[in-house]
Structure 1
Amino acid sequence: MRKLSVRHALLAVLATVSLLTTGCSAETGASSPAAAGADAPRSTSVADPAPDPTRQLAVAGTPKGEPTGVARAGEGGKAKKSPLKVASYDSSSRRAVISLKKQAPSATASPDDVPAVGDVIASGPAPGAPDGLLAKVTGVAGKTQKGTEVKTEPATLGALLGDDKADGTVPVDPATVDVEPLVQGVKVSWAKTGNIHVGPQGAKLPLGSLRIDVGGSVPLPVTEGAPVAGAATVAGYVQLAPEVEFSYDGSSALTPDSAFLGLTGDWTSQWQLKGRAAAGGKPVRIPFAKLHADPVIQVGPVPVVVNLDLTAYVQVAANGTVSVDVKQDLKGGFRIGGSYSKAGGWKPVSTSDMTSTPVQAKVAAAGTVKAALGAEATVGLYGAVGLTADLAPYVRGEASGAATPESLVGGWKIYGGLDLTGWLQLQLSIFGTPVFEHRIPLGALHREWLLAQGWGIVA
């Protein structure tokens, strides 16, 4: 009887399976997928594509005074906001103390309250890490009064952003830029629409431009043996509206499909070179202000700390003894950066559309003179420099003369121009891209155009 019962049970199961696989096709009416048409649920057969887990992350600035927070991701996980903060960091030992942000007394503890081996943490500027911190936890040393001490090693953005995408441009708040004058007479102001200027101690302005005035003049060296000497002076201003451009596409495995880090913005300057300069060797470069900022851009939940350094300078070179009086207006935009694609690796980007207009121009005596009012900028992430660029708008004057019994007559010309040079650094691999073996030059961008010319008596 037992064997017969088992046989009957097996037959019953087979009959049920047959009914399920054949009976459904005989159904009619609204419950049939064929009859329901567009209202029927779509089949989830193996031929259907898997849902795309890629997220399009927003790229935005962090308002001044607002905490940047911390992003955290475990092994194989996507980045998310974390209740942790970096209480301190020692760059020599790469040890960090991670603590918990203040929470309501009723809040309950969770695993997210404790750092673990394998966590990747991104933080805005913190004690001991003024450039921000991007690190992977390799060991937990133990508890301290300030939090949990952990051992870390450098990490990449790819470990946090994973297969997500992000693309955006964020203006740099002029109020967050630290300016160090290097010569007397340098003044700093913020500019907004309408060319209205307010000093650093004035009213709080919306995002706009940072203006650096060289009040009075910057005298050229007159010491013995100086490359260029004389009574020539340079005075004027530079006005910048910088923006950080960031993009990332990690939609494929292992390495990102593409990435970009760059600096873009508008440039306005007006300056005057006046006096007599004599040749003596190499060009003279006189830095007159240093600028530094650490804007934090939020890429989804991830705080990305961008380090900007810029040195404004005057550079003059002469050939012969030339008297010059040139005043120039310059306006335009620029874009410098590094662009990555999986097929082509890292490539430099450098463009500019600046144009100039001479307010006044005059060159006397035989020879040439070239003067630039430029800026050397470096752009990096979390303290690792990735890009250096030298943007040098200039004016160049030349005069030639021929002697006659009565006087020395000749012609002169004034040219405007732009030199843009620089290079990409190894540290751009912080995106999670392959390391390149040497610096990649931006490629020299050189443009020059005639501004003014004349003919007459050469003094």
Structure 2
Amino acid sequence: MKRTTRLLLVPLLVAGVAAPLSALPAAADSGGRTPPALRVGDGPADKDAVSVVRPAGDGKVGQVPVGDARLTDYDAAGGHAVLTGGASHGLQGSPDRLRPGDVIASPATAATPQGALVKVTAVHPQAGGRVAVDTRPADLTDALGDGTVDLRVPLTAADLKAKPSSTGGRVSGGQAGGGGIRLDVDVPMPPGVKPTEGHSSALSGSLEIRPELLFSYERAHWYSVAPSKAEIGMGDDYAYDFKAHAEGSAAYDTGRKPLRIPAAEVDVNKTVWVGPVPIVLNAKIDYFYDVSADGKITVDAEQRTEGRLNIGARYDADHGWSALSGPEPVTRGTATRVTGTATAQAGIGAHAELGLYGSIGVTADAMPYLKATVRGSGGGGQPKDGKRAGQTGVDDTHGEWALYGGGRLTGSFFGKLSVLGVKVLDHSWDFPAVTYEHRLAGGSS
């Protein structure tokens, strides 16, 4: 199977090709100096406690001791927050303990489910161990200063917070060492479509993934006040099975119907600690399906797709922002039977959003599909000599037909991701739509 580094399509997350954002001009020559590596740790014992840091003019940041203080009241739109606790470590013990210019970083908590990253503009001490602050949004450069870090954070089933739903589908642990997750689904069919003889489902699929969140950052103040490199994304090794055993006699098009099944709508708010700073990576995934046909057709076909996913956005000071990408997936088809006079297509896709501290930076839509075209009848036999459909030796002597495995991916990059410290316009750029399609089987009489 031909591979490229241009795209990757799976029903999880995807981003397209380069976004036309201009790089910031480079500042002074770095002189070959490398910023220090930032330590990745487990964070404080109290996982709900905030971290407060104070940026310095030399590119360094210092931690402000606030003990176990928590963000108990947070109004992002109004620019107000309240810190409670931490009195034993002097949150209120000194007039300059907390002051304008300090950066407050909160992990994902009940009060800040997507985390928070703000800069203090005014301090208002209150009674009862509380301190109210006026705030404005901060950048990660304010919190991390000079340094470099490259994170690959594995996700488990416990990290994926599924929304309630009512019918169909199930989720379980993955087979690959038990570290991944598996989603199985029977796709709802439009009226007039039913399973072929001997099959209980007209259209079904399964997805096994071993996901990880991707984050990298590099800045040296002697080079630029903005990062020289940054990355936000998601990656995983995956296997996707798709089974179509359906017959119908009318034209139809479901058009991106949501899949209302357990674990089909997923939110992730994952906190990782870089030095004293909690970084909250957000992902939101909604699955959908699309089934269409333009006439009478019967399809018995299956496909399996395997690959490595790398999606999101990458920045460097020389080229600006571009999309992460991965190799094109490897797709295989099974023995096939196609009859009728029509073209039919079916797919299970996903809409995904990815960002930091609730500031979404990348959105993407991906839908792999199986397409059958027929004029007469095709297939109906098993592969000869043990070969798979699509290879020489398939019994395809019953008419003009073809089976394709393909996909379509679209995406957008939002200027909101300036939380990384790269200032861009309040604008979004659509990645050019990318499609691929490979013939899996077919022939003519």
TM-score range (shorter-chain normalised) is: 0.7 to 0.9
Letter in 1 for 2:255: P
Does structure 1 conserve the Cα–Cα contact (< 8 Å) formed by 2:205 and 2:242? Answer: yes
Unpaired segments ≥5 residues, structure 2 = 1-29, 196-201, 378-396
Report which of the two structures shows the higher radius of gyration computed on alpha carbons: 1
Does structure 1 conserve the Cα–Cα contact (< 8 Å) formed by 2:253 and 2:290? Answer: no
Instruction: Look up the match of 2:257.
Output: 285
Secondary structure of 1:145's partner? coil
Query: Alpha carbons of 1:81 and 1:362: their partners in 2 closer, same or farther (altered >3 Å)?
Result: farther
User: Per-residue displacement from partner, 1:154-183 (whole Å, max 9, x unpaired)?
Assistant: 111111122211112111122121113545
The 2-side partners of 1:127 and 1:146 are apart by 20
Instruction: Look up the match of 2:228.
Output: 257
Given the two structures, how large is their TM-score scaled by the length of structure 2?
A: 0.77
The 1-side partners of 2:53 and 2:424 are apart by 23
Instruction: Look up the match of 1:231.
Output: 194
Instruction: Look up the match of 1:425.
Output: 414
Query: Alpha carbons of 1:212 and 1:130: their partners in 2 closer, same or farther (altered >3 Å)?
Result: same
Secondary structure of 2:418's partner? helix
1:387 deviates by 0.6
Query: Alpha carbons of 1:329 and 1:146: their partners in 2 closer, same or farther (altered >3 Å)?
Result: farther
Query: Alpha carbons of 1:316 and 1:112: their partners in 2 closer, same or farther (altered >3 Å)?
Result: farther
Instruction: Look up the match of 2:401.
Output: 412
Instruction: Look up the match of 1:444.
Output: 433
The 2-side partners of 1:79 and 1:443 are apart by 43
Instruction: Look up the match of 2:324.
Output: 349
Query: Alpha carbons of 1:147 and 1:432: their partners in 2 closer, same or farther (altered >3 Å)?
Result: same
Letter in 2 for 1:167: D
Query: Alpha carbons of 1:373 and 1:358: their partners in 2 closer, same or farther (altered >3 Å)?
Result: same
Specify which of 305, 314, 324 is matched with residue 330 of structure 1: 305
Query: Alpha carbons of 1:140 and 1:112: their partners in 2 closer, same or farther (altered >3 Å)?
Result: closer
The 2-side partners of 1:453 and 1:440 are apart by 39
1:188 deviates by 1.3
The 2-side partners of 1:350 and 1:51 are apart by 29
User: Per-residue displacement from partner, 1:243-278 (whole Å, max 9, x unpaired)?
Assistant: 111111111232111211111111212231222243
> How does 1:5-44 map onto structure 2 within 5 Å?
none
The 1-side partners of 2:313 and 2:285 are apart by 18
Query: Alpha carbons of 1:363 and 1:68: their partners in 2 closer, same or farther (altered >3 Å)?
Result: farther
Aligned-residue identity in percent: 30
User: Per-residue displacement from partner, 1:8-50 (whole Å, max 9, x unpaired)?
Assistant: xxxxxxxxxxxxxxxxxxxxxxxxxxxxxxxxxxxxxxxxx99
The 2-side partners of 1:108 and 1:364 are apart by 75
Query: Alpha carbons of 1:98 and 1:254: their partners in 2 closer, same or farther (altered >3 Å)?
Result: same
The 1-side partners of 2:33 and 2:331 are apart by 50
Does structure 2 conserve the Cα–Cα contact (< 8 Å) formed by 1:166 and 1:247? Answer: yes
Query: Alpha carbons of 1:368 and 1:160: their partners in 2 closer, same or farther (altered >3 Å)?
Result: same
Unpaired segments ≥5 residues, structure 1 = 1-48, 197-207, 223-228, 403-407
Does structure 1 conserve the Cα–Cα contact (< 8 Å) formed by 2:338 and 2:372? Answer: yes
Specify which of 166, 184, 196 is matched with residue 167 of structure 2: 184
1:103 deviates by 5.3
Instruction: Look up the match of 1:219.
Output: 188
Higher relative CO (Cα under 8 Å, sequence separation at least 6) belongs to 2
Secondary structure of 1:430's partner? helix
Instruction: Look up the match of 2:280.
Output: 305
Report the number of matched residues. Answer: 380
Structure with the largest fraction of helix: 1
User: What CA RMSD, in Å, does the superposition of the two structures yield over aligned residues?
Assistant: 3.1
Instruction: Look up the match of 2:125.
Output: 142
Given the two structures, how large is their TM-score scaled by the length of structure 1?
A: 0.74
1:111 deviates by 4.9
Query: Alpha carbons of 1:327 and 1:53: their partners in 2 closer, same or farther (altered >3 Å)?
Result: closer
Instruction: Look up the match of 1:172.
Output: 155
Secondary structure of 2:314's partner? strand
> How does 1:359-370 map onto structure 2 within 5 Å?
359-370=334-345
Does structure 2 conserve the Cα–Cα contact (< 8 Å) formed by 1:68 and 1:303? Answer: no
User: Per-residue displacement from partner, 1:140-166 (whole Å, max 9, x unpaired)?
Assistant: 123143511111111111111222111
Does structure 1 conserve the Cα–Cα contact (< 8 Å) formed by 2:74 and 2:80? Answer: yes
2:391 aligned with 1:391: no
2:36 aligned with 1:55: yes
Does structure 2 conserve the Cα–Cα contact (< 8 Å) formed by 1:60 and 1:299? Answer: yes
Instruction: Look up the match of 2:241.
Output: 270
Query: Alpha carbons of 1:399 and 1:182: their partners in 2 closer, same or farther (altered >3 Å)?
Result: farther
Letter in 2 for 1:287: L
User: Per-residue displacement from partner, 1:305-351 (whole Å, max 9, x unpaired)?
Assistant: 01111112222122222221222222111111111122322222233
The 1-side partners of 2:91 and 2:135 are apart by 27
Does structure 2 conserve the Cα–Cα contact (< 8 Å) formed by 1:60 and 1:168? Answer: no
Instruction: Look up the match of 1:45.
Output: none
The 2-side partners of 1:238 and 1:287 are apart by 14
2:424 aligned with 1:435: yes
Instruction: Look up the match of 1:85.
Output: 70
